[in-house]
Amino acid sequence: MRQWWQQGSPWVWLSASALLLCLGLFMALLGLIAVKGMQHFWPAPLVQFQLSEQGKPQLGRLVRQISDRSEAATNRLWLLDRGDGLSKENAESPASSGRYLLLEAQQLLPERPSNAVLVQLHDGRTLYGTMLDAAEVWQSQEQAETGLWLELASQRPVLLPAEDIRAYWLPNQLSLWQRGVVFCQEWRHFLTAAPSQNQSAGGIFPAIFGTLVMVLLMAVLVTPFGILAAIYLHEYAPKNWLTQLIRTSVYNLAGIPSVVMGIFGLAFFVYVLGGSLDRLFYADQLPAPTFGTPGLFWAALTLALLTLPVVIVATEEGLSRLPQAQRLGSFALGATQAETIWKVVVPQAAPAMLTGLILAIARAAGEVAPLMLVGVVKSAPQLPVDMQFPFIHLERKFMHLGYHLYDVGFQSPDAEVAMSLVYAIGLVLLTLILLLNLSAFLLRQRLRRKYRLID
Amino acid sequence: MWTRQSRDCFSRWLVTLVGYSVLLAFAIIFVFLVWQVWPLFQPASISAQSAAESSMPYSYQVEAQRRQSGSSGLLWLDNGLDERVQLHADGRFRWYQRLDGDWQLSLQGQLALSSWQAAVLLPGSRTLLVADQEALVHSWFRLHQQLIDRPGIPLHQSEVLALIPLSADTFFSLHPEVLHWHHATTGKRLTELRLSDQPLQQLQLSADRQRMRLDWGAGQSKDYQLHWQHPAVAGGQLWSKVHYEGRREAAYVWQTAAAADDSSPRLSLVPLTSGTLKAAAYAMLFATPLAILAAVFTAFYLPERWRHRARATMEMLESMPTVILGFIAAFLLAPWLEQQLMLFFVLLVLVPAVLLVCSGLWFHWRQRQQKQAEQPGAVLVLSLVAGILTAFMLAPVLEHAWFDGSLLLWLAGQGIDYQQRNALIIGMAMGLAVIPSIFSLTEEVVFQVPASLTQGVLALGASRWQTLSSMVLPVAAPGILAAILLGLGRALGETMILIMATGNTPLLGFDPFEGMRTLTASLALEMPEAAVGSSHFKVLLLAALLLLVLTFLINTLVSLLRLRIRQRYQQL
């Protein structure tokens, strides 16, 4: 026993399981987001339910199982999504309106009708119903329009005009391959369409686009600055207290909480700089502010300040890995310091700079708190880049993936719709950021290997 | 024109300029915030001004107040809005309130003093101030049908000529030859104005209450400018307990959207700072042991290839957007924990216990086989899984046996309020966000301990863990401290997780089952709505400055410690 303690065996076990636990928790988190995000698009089968004994069976999609522990025994309930319905007037009674229902097990019917259809409308609504044979209904109605005949919950058959329908499928009779096709189509729609139905449906294209434009603008601002600063620190700076001070301020700049940077962006860039710009150049539009209000440019500038240390540190690392012999060789050939730096050092350290830039972009894409202050909105009517002069509108507000996630999750009236949508947004955001980081990581690995060979 | 030399020179200048501007950028952030926050701490002052032709709608007769109270023994006070008080010389009072256009008696009684010199009802508020004979201004306010006593405001002179209301929370006390300006809510004296010995007739205030005119009669008058931009913080409300009107006791209050009947925001940074510290403390409590143990194991036990993989994964995870963690915490973890609180505690105790027992058994078994008991491998994974499964099975049983089936109900019975979004959730979610930064730095410093040292200790016959605990950890201690501080800095500045999963109620204390509101969350949520230049705006900037200074100190300490450990390794 004493030996066991003295040799530190318990500590080894604890530390090993701590590592396992850390990695396991993160992997579980990633897996959860991936699975839940994918589920949002996977065409799940439709089930039937019956609210009362006499009631007609209706169609719906199971969302999840809920265990209700309010009493001594645990009750199992099912949360069911029954679509948006065509309109509010058609709902048969107030009790049955609303999109979500909690069902007990006996209210669910075992059989799954094969002609159950899921219809996605262009305005973002989702309908569940039974598809009727078009020819039959036409005979009785004696009119031929293109569209889809549907029987919704205990109503007369309705004709959905073809131009309203974005997509429809019969979830209960799809083969695995067809499900995959629907899955891909829904993903495509999600990535390319604009949000609808008060953010609870549709796609996230404006958010992706806004994120990309903002991040690119930020990259344009931060790259030259960061690289030059790193070159100064590594190539020119004398070893004195001032350089030490600059170095300290780089480290401290990296440590500033992002929300504080956002506050500075709002109070200084937007209100002070933007306000002055407005008074100087847009005086005729005052008091409606042009640049004196949060917008794309200020957001990019704030994030540029935030990610400046990332670029500086990565670039400097790349510069320091370059063998000193290369610089000396260049000097020996009679090159000036500028020529050495711009023709020998910088081209070789370029991958390191790219690494820094990618890391900065990854960081900027994941930040939300500062953006909430300096220009991101929940829904922007116009994209920041369009075909009108001057093509890129620096003063416009824009949408951002991270903020969109926060907004859909927290401000949405329909929490259950939001849930699966938020997972999907989270998956897109996470994929973007992990891919960026992975590419930076691989680039750096390659770079290190290369320099090891040179050495 | 562009010779090689001039190009070299130009390049040098450009690069140097950019290098310095990094320092400049940092300085600008700091200086700008200080400059913005500075007016908050400027004391109120009164300065003489040339007389201007402007109307002064509010006028107060000094003599009238004294005469009225002296002769008839009865004084009518008015708050200019909907409250009136009739005060007798012996301290009896009747309090009227205007409801639907007519005055109704809402309260009457006897004040706790027998005689008084002057009294006033502050404009737009329900606070009654009465100066007694012993240089003390008593302060009461009406709360529904009750009169609440507030701490008195000490005066510097016992003879009071008049009390003159200035705003809902400041007033003047006029003494012979001097005019004092007081903060009514906190009782602090703001400033004073020396007057001539001639008796003052009248005091007039402008509509915006920024200018005042003193009138000594006989056409002799003088104008003054009152400087007080931020009454909401002027009395030291930021960091001290204040008894606000409408509350039963003094408290630290953060309340920006003022209720309908009060005019000024209540800006105490104490609840927010305490929230920030609480959140950071719970996150560190969760993250530090896990991250350090994991890092030590990675650096000292894992083979090179696996070490690289673990490091790379952690680096990747460091960039995980916190908005995702916050969402998971708020919508997945919080409901889960509410359902499975018992399981959480059982896991917390049982998993380490099972691990220890298994490690003992394993050790014993290996010794019987006469083998080294070093790398447990798959047995460890199995026992970890076993521990977790046991906890899952044991938790409901224990909950039934000890807490009648529900820990939550039991907690409620003990008077403990369980909020769904609480400090435990924050501890776990923000802990996850902090783990990678602590892990990376700790792993780095432990790994870089010179091999000559460790090999020497190993050669003397120590086990790997003995080497680690007696040699490596003491040498790397400053680096590990730096890692913890780095994590702390990150936890203090984290925002999205806190906005999403704390409940955002400004609460004091370190209760694990309650939420909090942090500085960062307040900044992100309130800044867009705060009017530019208002007290609220400036106090938020002060909060930002506070965070900036705090993280600045922590980061400086971190770089100093890193420098020290680098030097130590070079020496060894």
Contact (CB<8Å) A258/B319: no
Residue at B211 is within a domain: yes
Place of tokens 């040699």: B471
Find the length of chain A. Answer: 455
Average pLDDT over residues B397-421: 86
Same domain as B442, residue B335: yes
Tell me what pLDDT residue B382 has.
87
Tell me what pLDDT residue B553 has.
94
Query: Which of A146-160, B63-77, B150-164 has the weakest average pLDDT?
Result: B63-77
Average pLDDT over residues B46-64: 77
Report the gap between the CA of A424 and the closest CA in chain B (Å). Answer: 11
pLDDT(B572) > 90: no
What does the domain layout of chain A look like in residue ranges? 47-69+100-192, 205-454
Dmax over CA atoms of chain A, in Å, equals 97
Same domain as B207, residue B140: yes
Query: Which of B4-18, B213-227, B302-316 has the weakest average pLDDT?
Result: B213-227
- Which residues on adjacent β-strands are paired with residue B242? B251
Residue at B215 is within a domain: yes
Residue at B4 is within a domain: no
Average pLDDT over residues B437-441: 94
Cα(A155)–Cα(A143) distance, integer angstroms: 20
Same domain as B425, residue B314: yes
Tell me what pLDDT residue B373 has.
53
Of B63, B64, B119, B71, nearest in space to B92 by CA: B119
Q: Which residues of B touch A263 (CB under 8 A)?
A: 523, 527, 540-541, 544
Query: Which of A15-24, A157-166, B215-224, B532-541 has the weakest average pLDDT?
Result: A157-166
- Which residue from A260, A272, A437 is facing B547, i.e. has the nearest CB? A260
Highest averaged pLDDT of the listed ranges A165-174, B60-69, B489-498, B522-531: B489-498
Angle (nearest 5°) at CA A183 between A181 and A185: 70
Tell me what pLDDT residue A98 has.
65
| Helix or strand (DSSP H, E) at A321 | helix A296-321
Tens of pLDDT along B284-330? 999 999 999 999 999 988 888 999 999 999 988 888 899 999 999 99
Cα(B189)–Cα(B205) distance, integer angstroms: 20
Contact (CB<8Å) A252/B551: yes
Please state at what angle helix A415-454 crosses helix A401-411, rounded to 10 degrees.
Answer: 150
B332 touches chain A (CB under 8 A): yes
Average pLDDT over residues B421-447: 93
Mean pLDDT (chain B, rounded): 86
CA atoms within 13 A on the CB side of B78: 8
Angle (nearest 5°) at CA B228 between B227 and B234: 145
Tens of pLDDT along B89-147? 888 888 888 888 888 888 888 888 877 888 888 887 888 888 888 888 888 888 888 88
Query: Which of A19-23, B257-261, B379-383, B409-413 has the weakest average pLDDT?
Result: B257-261
Amino acid, single-letter form, for residue B64: A
Tell me what pLDDT residue A360 has.
93
Task: Report the sign of the C-alpha dihedral through residues A274, A279, A284, A289, in that order.
Answer: positive
Contact (CB<8Å) B322/A255: no
Tens of pLDDT along A406-449? 988 887 777 777 788 899 999 999 999 999 999 988 988 888 88
* Segments of chain A scoring below 50 in pLDDT: 88-95
Residues 523-562 of B with CB under 8 A from A: 523-524, 527-528, 532, 537, 540-541, 544, 547-548, 551-552, 554-556, 558-559
Cα(B336)–Cα(B330) distance, integer angstroms: 10
Contact (CB<8Å) B541/A263: yes
Residue at B367 is within a domain: no
Same domain as B278, residue B155: no
| Helix or strand (DSSP H, E) at B194 | strand B189-194
pLDDT(B222) > 70: yes
CATH code for the domain of B120 = 2.130.10.10
Same domain as B186, residue B303: no
Tell me what pLDDT residue B69 has.
56
pLDDT band at B261 (very low <50, low <70, confident <90, very high): very low
Contact (CB<8Å) B465/A336: no
Q: For residue B156, what are its two tokens? A: 């510097």
CB B523 within 8 A of CB B496: no
- Which residue from B319, B326, B380 is facing A16, i.e. has the nearest CB? B380
A vs B: CB pairs below 8 A: 304
Residue B66 phi/psi, 5-degree rounding, is: -65, -45
Q: Which residues of B touch A264 (CB under 8 A)?
A: 29, 32-33, 544
Tell me what pLDDT residue B488 has.
95
| Helix or strand (DSSP H, E) at A417 | helix A415-454
pLDDT(B221) > 80: yes
Please state at what angle helix B378-403 crosses helix A9-39, rounded to 10 degrees.
Answer: 80
Contact (CB<8Å) A255/B489: yes
Residue at B183 is within a domain: yes
Residues 165-224 of B with CB under 8 A from A: none
Total tally of structural domains belonging to chain B = 2
CB B334 within 8 A of CB B425: yes
CA atoms within 13 A on the CB side of B522: 31
CA end-to-end span of chain A, whole Å?
A: 51
Average pLDDT over residues B237-263: 74
pLDDT(B416) > 80: yes
Q: Which residues of A touch B32 (CB under 8 A)?
A: 264, 267-268, 272
Q: Which residues lie closer than 8 Å to A9 by C-beta, 6 or more apart?
A: B359, B360, B362, B363, B373, B465
Q: How many Cβ atoms are within 10 Å of A127's Cβ, its own excluded?
A: 23
Q: What's the CATH architecture for A205-454?
A: Orthogonal Bundle (1.10)
Q: Which residues span the domain enclosing B444? A: 272-339+393-571
Q: For residue B49, what are its two tokens? A: 């001004």
Contact (CB<8Å) A9/B359: yes
Of B108, B115, B264, B119, nearest in space to B186 by CA: B264
Of B172, B182, B164, nearest in space to B231 by CA: B182
CATH code for the domain of B563 = 1.10.3720.10
Residue at B43 is within a domain: no
Angle (nearest 5°) at CA B307 between B306 and B312: 100
Angle (nearest 5°) at CA A291 between A285 and A297: 150
Residue at B423 is within a domain: yes
